[in-house]
C-alpha cells in the first residue's frame, strides 16, 4: 500500500505518485494545500447490482407492430412504397374477381 498525494491550488488539482516531486510543486504553486491519503486498493465491485436490477424485474424491450423506418435507405423505402401499391391493386382485383365468380356460381 502506498500513499496518494493531492495538491489543491486554486482551481487546479494535481495528483502526485512520487513524494519527491512535492517540494518542486510547492515552489511552483506557493499557496497550495497538500492532502495525503492512503492509496485506493479496490477499484470496482459489482456487489448488489444484480439484486437491484431484479427488484422490478428484468423486462424485455417492447416490440411494436410496425418498427420505425427512420434511418432506412431512401431508395429502398421508395421501392417498398411502389411494391405495396402494386400488391394492393392485385389483391383488390383478385377479390373483385372472386366476388364475381361467387355471384355467377350462385346465379
Is pTM beyond 0.95? Reply is no
Provide the residue-wise pLDDT of the chain in tens; the chain has 107 residues: 455 666 666 666 666 656 666 666 666 666 666 667 777 788 899 999 999 999 999 999 999 999 999 999 999 999 999 999 999 999 999 999 999 999 999 87
What pLDDT does residue 106 have? 87
d(CA 75, CA 82): 11
Which of helix, strand or coil describes residue 103?
helix
pLDDT at 32: 61
Please report, for residues 24, 83, 88, the alpha-carbon distance to residue 27 in angstroms, rounded to integers and kept in the order given: 5, 77, 83
Q: Which of 24, 29, 26, 35 is nearest to 10 (CA)?
A: 29
Amino acid at each position: 500500500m502506498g500513499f496518494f498525494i493531492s495538491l489543491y491550488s486554486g482551481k487546479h488539482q494535481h495528483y502526485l505518485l512520487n513524494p519527491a516531486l512535492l517540494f518542486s510543486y510547492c515552489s511552483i504553486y506557493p499557496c497550495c494545500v497538500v492532502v495525503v491519503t492512503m492509496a485506493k486498493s479496490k477499484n470496482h465491485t459489482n456487489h448488489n447490482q444484480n439484486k437491484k436490477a431484479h427488484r422490478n424485474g428484468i423486462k424485455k424491450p417492447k416490440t411494436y407492430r410496425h418498427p420505425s423506418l427512420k434511418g432506412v435507405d431512401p431508395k429502398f423505402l421508395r421501392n417498398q412504397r411502389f411494391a405495396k401499391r402494386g400488391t394492393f391493386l392485385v389483391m383488390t382485383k383478385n377479390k373483385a374477381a372472386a366476388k364475381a365468380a361467387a355471384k355467377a356460381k350462385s346465379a
